[in-house]
Amino acid sequence: MKKVYFDNAATTQTDKDVAATVLEYMTNTFGNPGSVHAFGREARKAVDIAREQVAKLIGAQSSEIFFTSGGTESDNISLKGVAYANRNRGKHIITSAIEHHAVLEPCEALKKEGFDLTILPVDEFGRVSVETLKAAIRPDTILISVMFANNEVGTMQPIAEIGAIARERGIYFHTDAVQAVGNWPIDVKAMNIDLLTMSGHKFHAPKGIGALYVRKGVRIRSLQQGGGQERHMRPGTENVPGIVGLGMAAEKSLAEMPEKIDRIQKLRDRLLAGIMENVPEIKLNGHPTLRLPGNVNVSVIYIEGESLLLNLDMKGIAASSGSACTSGSLDPSHVLLAMGLDHATAHGSLRLSLSKMNTDEDVDYFLAEFPAIVARLRSMSPLYATRGSQAAQRCESASCKESECEIRGS
Amino acid sequence: MYTEKVMDHFSNPRNVGELKDADGVGEVGNAKCGDIMKIFLKVENGIIEDVKFQTFGCGAAIATSSMVTEMVKGKTLEDALRISNEAVAEALDGLPPVKMHCSNLAADAVHAAIKDYIAKHPA
Ligand SMILES: Cc1ncc(COP(=O)(O)O)c(C=O)c1O
Ligand code: FES
């Protein structure tokens, strides 16, 4: 059976060259960068080169890059490290409703510790409004954290505008760029970004390695104490194989970027157009244009995401969903709810995330299998069977605004 | 995460669809995750002659719906009322803990359909 991997927002396949280099730094060049001997010096040199490669990818200086275990750790250090170090300046933090849990949870933890938290709403496309952000800023605001691009719907935020505002007001600006780094051009200087989170496994480096960019001069405190590695920001013997892999993935991504974006976007557009043409009653989630090149997120009305994923999996297709039934907590995706989707529509959400590893054949195969799967699940759905009468019921209600009624409109 | 039996009922669900001339219809929904399950019954002399389901929900919701239709077909109403949510889950060799509420739906939907039948056909 053909296998199609459309879940690259969850994790990507490690690049073959990267994997070979990682192996080299586990077996032959295995020294501790802290050692004085030749083994150590060689490892140190490799880490230094990787730091430069990573810095270059986002327009930073290598002294501004700190290696971590990934996105979650970089987010935690950014939020807590800045909050603790700037307590004397203020206690107000601004973030957005569609952040990853790796940002939202540390923010909630800080709130419990006495910090004030403002969670910005987003519009129907998942975008933060710059005006709303401006209005939320207080004299004691110390940190703004807004993600570069959303992991579920791919929506990109007005990062450069937020950066300009933050810089002008003297507020630190952190962005969780886990989904964007390596997949979209980033320039931390031009965009006035003070702190940036990245994670290797989203752009073909291994899992468990990431980095944090901290602009020179930002007041931040480390969360761990130990041997003093990473200039005390993140002590612990360096994950040299991971770091070298991250560096190589960064360099490759930068070299491939323009062609890669163009190719993935073409595949994505064909995939989305094919879905829309061949299956009725599909709703696009996220922004029509301001989205990551590899992201498709649609709601397949009248069916539930987990049963859709299981059916796709039986055909060898890997995807994901924001449905409550897939979440473990049985709550639908907070991202889709923040965008104003009702529970039923969030239920039928399907995310297909592409990478450079995907091909035209993958898209063809998906489009060949998908309509029959949807038709089968819809034929089992009570919502599909009664869709006419439901519309009638809903539109008779006094509160139903005809101009906004989705069901009557379709 | 699902047992083989669950996957079997999910991929080849028994008794899917609608009974146009149903004697009793039951619909239940789960407020938490938003799923809906609908059961149609055809009853003759106190025996469930035919049963069909429609479900909007996850793999477990579809599998429990399918399983419960097999369990109640040919049974008396009294026996069908005695089939519990746990029994449906057990018949499927269990469900992941977080999914146990889905199995509640299947038996509940059958019970709701029987109550609908009784209300429409007072003895
Ligand atoms: C936007 C975003 N932030 C943070 C993370 C967490 O990254 P990691 O898995 O490297 O800890 C992810 C990964 O799922 C993500 O998509
Ligand atoms: S139907 Fe939602 S978890 Fe089962």
**pLDDT tens, N- to C-terminus, chain A (410 residues):** 999 999 999 999 999 999 999 999 999 999 999 999 999 999 999 999 999 999 999 999 999 999 999 999 999 999 999 999 999 999 999 999 999 999 999 999 999 999 999 999 999 999 999 999 999 999 999 999 999 999 999 999 999 999 999 999 999 999 999 999 999 999 999 999 999 999 999 999 999 999 999 999 999 999 999 999 999 999 999 999 999 999 999 999 999 999 999 999 999 999 999 999 999 999 999 999 999 999 999 999 999 999 999 999 999 999 999 988 888 777 889 999 999 998 889 999 999 999 999 999 999 999 999 999 999 999 999 999 888 665 444 444 444 445 554 444 43
Beta carbons of B73 and B47 less than 8 angstroms apart: no
Proximal ligand: closest to the CA of A68: 1
Is some CB atom of chain A closer than 8 A to the CB atom of B26? no
- CATH level 3 topology of A16-254: Aspartate Aminotransferase; domain 2 (3.40.640)
Which residues in chain A touch residue B54, judged by CB atoms under 8 angstroms apart?
A: 380-382, 385
Nearest to B50 by CA among B25, B81, B83: B25
Interface predicted TM-score (ipTM): 0.91
Which residue spans of chain A are classified as CATH 3.40.640.10? 16-254
Mind listing the pLDDT tens digit for each residue in A255-286?
999 999 999 999 999 999 999 999 999 999 99
Helical H runs in A86-158?
A: 101-112, 130-136
Q: Helix axis angle, B59-72 relative to B4-11, nearest 10°?
A: 80
Interface of A with B in 308-347 (CB under 8 A): 310, 314, 323-326, 328, 330-332, 343-344, 347
- Chain A residues closer than 8 Å to B17 by CB: 379
Number of the ligand 1 atom closest to the C-alpha atom of A210: 10
| Dist. CA B100 → ligand 2 center (Å) | 9
In sequence order, the β-bridge partners of residue B55 are B37
Tokens encoding A4: 């199609």
CATH placement of domain A4-9+257-404? 3.90.1150.10
From B44's Cα to the closest Cα of chain A, the distance in A is 25
B116 ligand 2 Cβ < 6 A: no
Question: Is the minimum CB–CB distance between B35 and chain A shorter than 8 Å?
Answer: yes
Predicted TM-score of the model (pTM): 0.93
Ligand 2 pocket, A136 CB below 6 A? no
DSSP type of residue A132: H
